[in-house]
Structure 1
Amino acid sequence: MRSVFRIGEERPGANHRAGSVFLKKGSNVSEERSGAAILCESLVRQGVEFVFGYPGGAVLPIYDELFSDDRIRHILVRHEAGAAHAAEGYARSTGKPGVVLVTSGPGATNAITGIADAFLDSIPLVVITGQVATNLIGTDAFQEADTIGLTRHCTKHNYLVKDPDHLAATIDEAFEIATTGRPGPVVIDIPKNVQVATALLEDRAPQRPKRYQPRMVASVEEVAEAVEMIVNAKRPVFYTGGGVINSGPRATELLRQLQELTGAPVTSTLMGLGAFPADHADWLGMLGMHGTYEANMAMNQCDVMVNIGARFDDRVTGRLDAFSPGSRKIHIDIDRASINKVVPVDLGIVGDCATVLEQLISAWDNRQPADLGEWKAKIEDWRGRDSLAFPLREDSIMPQLAVQRLFEKTRDRDPIITTEVGQHQMWAAQYFGFMGPNKWLTSGGLGTMGYGLPAAIGAQLGNPGSLVIDIAGEASIQMNIQELGTASQFRLPVKIFILNNEYMGMVRQWQELTYESRYSNSYSDSLPDFVRLAEAYGWKGIRIHDESELDAGIDAMLAHDGPVIVDCQVSKEANCFPMIPSGAAHTEMLLYGDVHAGTMEDEAKALV
């Protein structure tokens, strides 16, 4: 029988060290490992390649283990928020969970923005935080924070591990929770004495009763009802979201197969871009606040809407009482809580997107959908409005044109695009075509400025042979600009393409349209010289002044095999259209040149 020593007890005959504790020291010494060693071994068992982190006192035992373990590559960021966003970029681009390691107190609190971002956008993260020793918890010890309390509402689950004997099983379960069902972040808070204390490490992964079992498969009756609704629809629309991409490459293939069977047009949320190819004849473009005219009008006038892996976000729905008022609605989502949460639906199907799509295709058999000729002709009329048209200027580069040229110059290389948050983000969504999944990485639900650069770093590590470009704004890029040093240290050829209009552009646009052009604190004063800043970090810097330099500047960026910042100086006053004003309906969009889109509302009433 093994002798057992509780946390906080000193092992008999041992030299006492401050902070040292012991647990379960048995006769079979070769099987005893410290909590820090158990953590590292568990991460290896999970197939972890990279850990994005920043050291501190409460995680030094873990860092000491990493020092001699070459199976895991630690990526030293310059700020803990950068660690979380880099892990998001890695996860979003590879489909694998991202892993974060930060210390207690400010290390954990700095990471919370990235954790909340991952929670809202359903990104699988496992975040390991150090904590003060168990006997100090609750005493306001140095760098103590209630990490469990702070992260309770922005994680799928969180743990405070007080016994190293539970550590391996906890880590395994955390990865399962983060990656199955609706993906999301899981936090594991590990006190420093638990990292030092020892426990028995089994040769095989610990067995714990399966406590998390999300529903994956729809019932036969639900699938049959959905097929009947779709086959009889005269004006169907597939409304797709990030859940299709999170479900894996198979889901995007199945979506294309179902669309081919039904002929239904397809639109997408911001997070769902790439689930359906942007060059397909039945692609409507993104919908919602800055979506296309045809996507929003089709959603308003459809008779059957099939929501696949989206959550009826307010940026999509606009005014709820005017959202797709005459349609029957099907909602497919793995998160039971999302169904009927915002928009009441006629048929809610809880299940994995790929699994349910496969069920729908199998149940379709040889059915023939209704003739959609009249519906598609109407969509072509709407498409003829050319809602993404924009004016050109002789004195400055229009940012929309810059994104268009960037797309044309890089499309053959199938790049991974990240963004910061603001106007440039919406222009990238509108004018950069995405043909496949996991190529579009952006902050949707939380709208986190500073996301794009660290996300690009994570994506580049996960996809070392890919072209990775962060389309940025000059204000947002400064939120985590210190991560330039991370890319330099790890020799990552990330490209940053800044649409520099010298304003917090989206704030300025709302101030122009809503606050009579009172530009309160939205001008980006005292900007750095981005070219010299790039050079200071060992990057190449390129500045584009006018349209005649645009193509050559992009070519120079692509020709350089290291990291590059392009400072593309664009029109200061350009606004992002189409736009649905806050609280307005889909039929009240503003297009370029519109004072008020009353003609759209009249058209919608005529159709009804």
Structure 2
Amino acid sequence: MQLKGSKIIMECLLEQKVDTIFGYPGGQIMPLYDALYDYQDRIKHILTSHEQGAAHAADGYARSTGKVGVCFATSGPGATNTVTGIATAYMDSSPMVVITGQVPINLIGKDSFQEVDIVGVTLPITKHSFFCRTVEELAPNIRNAFKIAASGRPGPVLIDVPKNLMVELGEYEASLPMEVERCCPPADLDLIRSIAEEINAAEKPVIYAGGGVIIADASEELTQIAHASDIPVITTLMSMGSFDRRDPLSLGMVGMHGQKEANMAVHHSDLIIAVGARFSDRVTGDTTRFARGAKIVHIDIDPAEFGKNMRYDYCIRCDVKSALQSLLPLIEKTERKEWNERIDTWKKEKTANSQKLDPDSIFDTINEILGDDVIIATDVGQHQMWTAQKWPFRKPRTFISSGGLGTMGFGLGAAIGAQIGNPGKRVVHISGDGSFRMNLNELATVSSQNLPIISVIIKNHTLGMVRQWQKLFFSQRYSATDLPDVIEYDKLASAFGLDGCLVRERDELIRALEEAKKSGRGTVIACEIFIDENVAPIVPPGEAINNQLLTETLV
């Protein structure tokens, strides 16, 4: 069947069961948008305010649903505006396909209007990039892009399509989606048995769960092993929700801003079982002093991670779900009462002020009014760490945040993608007044799409995390961090057709959340807190993770 290239692209997207595209049209991708007109009843297009917002939305959609997110952008600045979103997805192993328009092939290399070598630009931040030279390449490149994005360790793939290929005729023959290569049972069963013996013999083991647990849908297997062998579980930022935070064995986040009990458990352990984690510098601190008395088992699908950041005693290159399923029958039922009681001595009881707005009362109140069954999307900074520390994440794919790249401005676009992908779920966007300013234009998308997203902004009049570092490590020389108080959040929200308010006390926050819950409208709630509220604990840079500065040290 002969079709224009633009329609071949759309038919291939239907093959991949794509139901949503996030994007922004422009000159070189216009033929593809013209073809999209005929597919409106089958594929929803979400017009964002900016291409960066579209990329973040596709990412948030992917992380919250487990599907491949799809983003369209035109050439030149349209394509380069997606770069931060592509890099964010790459660092956090989020599956995404970005299709960009390009100037016609006969104009390439001539500094044509809006010409950029986007394949070259994105080469280090994609799993693969395709430049289509003929209309015959369109279908195989798109099919391969989806397979690559979702296979193994997921990530973004870019397809750059010159405009002339979108209007040329080519042969199209329908095809089933290519099989995703992810599940790979461990090849060395003797190694599995040896690792099981180490787990059974350990007196002070810790499971260190990374984002790979969520990607592999292995939360159930992780929970079964932890319960069978009474092993405490620590999680990375990317793994929040992989293990129920209300479970007695959950120690919460590990690392620079991790819970004291998580960091101390690692420091005193005799066995670390790392599952789908990459030993980020934000987790390990000084690697020479990280878990020095422990053997390390590293399970990951990406062999490049073995030994890259941290030594190991055993490694399994495997889909983590398959590895845990292979281990589970060999794990002995064990009670580690003494080890878990010792960990309990490192836990600190939380005290809350009933009316004052501070990080504890804000998150307690949101949880009280909205419950546990919500998706949280954050930007980056103090509010992100407070969210990870204080929110009781109970299920996978409910925490959407930029971990590896630390992208301020990520949260609102990601919340939009998560809400579009999960229309029956409550989505809450947590931001700081610094991050929020970066992409607040996406409030227009929230409004135009009638999305009931609640944006809660921790308003402390400063770039909070930068100021905290300046306070602790730069002799309180506050350079370019304090923010002028120029935004009236109620008026800002109203200008976008949304509800909004500024609250200073807990009762005001309760009323605002209850109203937002009842109205079903997009809402912006700014919560004013003290400028010097700090994220605690914090491990100073270059220190071992057991050497934390605690709350009382930061006053």
TM-score tier by shorter-chain length is: over 0.9
1:191 aligns with 162
**Structure 2 matches for 1:376-387, cutoff 5 A?**
376-383=340-347, 385-386=348-349
User: 1:224 deviation in Å?
Assistant: 1.1
User: 1:526 deviation in Å?
Assistant: 4.5
Q: Is the 8 A contact 2:16 2:177 kept in 1?
A: no
Give the whole-Å Cα distance in 1 for the aligned partners of 2:223 and 2:554: 38
1:229 aligns with 198
Letter in 2 for 1:400: D
- The equivalent position to 1:77 in structure 2, one of 42, 48, 51, is 48
User: 1:552 deviation in Å?
Assistant: 2.2
User: 1:382 deviation in Å?
Assistant: 1.1
User: 1:205 deviation in Å?
Assistant: 4.5
**Structure 2 matches for 1:179-578, cutoff 5 A?**
179-205=150-176, 216-218=184-186, 219-248=188-217, 251-364=218-331, 367-369=332-334, 371-383=335-347, 385-386=348-349, 389=350, 392=353, 397-412=357-372, 414-578=373-537
**Structure 2 matches for 1:90-101, cutoff 5 A?**
90-101=61-72
Matched, 1:50 2:14: no
Q: Deviations over 1:519-543 (max 9, x none)?
A: 1010111431111010010001122
Letter in 2 for 1:234: E
Letter in 2 for 1:226: I
**Structure 2 matches for 1:5-20, cutoff 5 A?**
none
Larger mean Cα displacement after TM superposition, 215-224 or 476-485: 215-224
Question: Relative to structure 1, is the Cα distance of residues 592 and 203 closer, same or farther in structure 2, using a 3 angstrom cutoff?
Answer: closer
Give the whole-Å Cα distance in 2 for the aligned partners of 1:549 and 1:32: 62
User: 1:373 deviation in Å?
Assistant: 2.1
User: 1:393 deviation in Å?
Assistant: 9.7
User: 1:203 deviation in Å?
Assistant: 3.3
User: 1:556 deviation in Å?
Assistant: 2.1
Q: Deviations over 1:166-187 (max 9, x none)?
A: 2111111110110111010000
1:118 aligns with 89
Give the whole-Å Cα distance in 2 for the aligned partners of 1:557 and 1:407: 14
1:13 aligns with none
Letter in 2 for 1:216: C
Question: Relative to structure 1, is the Cα distance of residues 213 and 595 closer, same or farther in structure 2, using a 3 angstrom cutoff?
Answer: closer
Q: Is the 8 A contact 2:15 2:174 kept in 1?
A: no
Q: Is the 8 A contact 1:424 1:473 kept in 2?
A: yes
List gaps (5 residues or longer) in structure 1.
Answer: 1-30, 597-608
Q: Is the 8 A contact 1:215 1:334 kept in 2?
A: no
Letter in 2 for 1:232: A
1:26 aligns with none
List gaps (5 residues or longer) in structure 2.
Answer: none
Give the whole-Å Cα distance in 2 for the aligned partners of 1:505 and 1:574: 8
Q: Deviations over 1:485-514 (max 9, x none)?
A: 111111111110111111110011001111
User: 1:391 deviation in Å?
Assistant: 7.4
Question: Which of structures 1 and 2 has the bigger CA Rg?
Answer: 1
Q: Is the 8 A contact 1:530 1:567 kept in 2?
A: yes
Among all aligned residue pairs of Structure 1 and Structure 2, give the percentage whose two residues are the same amino acid: 43
Give the whole-Å Cα distance in 2 for the aligned partners of 1:104 and 1:173: 22
Give the whole-Å Cα distance in 2 for the aligned partners of 1:560 and 1:496: 14
1:175 aligns with 146
Q: Is the 8 A contact 1:235 1:301 kept in 2?
A: yes
Give the whole-Å Cα distance in 2 for the aligned partners of 1:391 and 1:325: 36
User: 1:213 deviation in Å?
Assistant: 5.4
User: 1:407 deviation in Å?
Assistant: 1.6
Helix, strand or coil at the partner of 1:455 = helix
Letter in 1 for 2:371: R
Question: Relative to structure 1, is the Cα distance of residues 183 and 203 closer, same or farther in structure 2, using a 3 angstrom cutoff?
Answer: closer
1:137 aligns with 108
Give the whole-Å Cα distance in 1 for the aligned partners of 2:390 and 2:86: 29
1:601 aligns with none
1:5 aligns with none
Give the whole-Å Cα distance in 2 for the aligned partners of 1:558 and 1:87: 25
Give the whole-Å Cα distance in 2 for the aligned partners of 1:102 and 1:268: 35
1:35 aligns with 5
Give the whole-Å Cα distance in 2 for the aligned partners of 1:580 and 1:401: 24
Q: Is the 8 A contact 2:97 2:157 kept in 1?
A: yes
Helix, strand or coil at the partner of 1:159 = strand
Give the whole-Å Cα distance in 2 for the aligned partners of 1:43 and 1:214: 21
Give the whole-Å Cα distance in 2 for the aligned partners of 1:274 and 1:408: 18
Q: Is the 8 A contact 1:540 1:563 kept in 2?
A: yes
1:87 aligns with 58
Give the whole-Å Cα distance in 2 for the aligned partners of 1:556 and 1:205: 47
Q: Is the 8 A contact 1:291 1:430 kept in 2?
A: yes
Letter in 2 for 1:239: Y
Helix, strand or coil at the partner of 2:371 = helix
Helix, strand or coil at the partner of 1:68 = helix
Helix, strand or coil at the partner of 2:447 = helix
1:60 aligns with 30
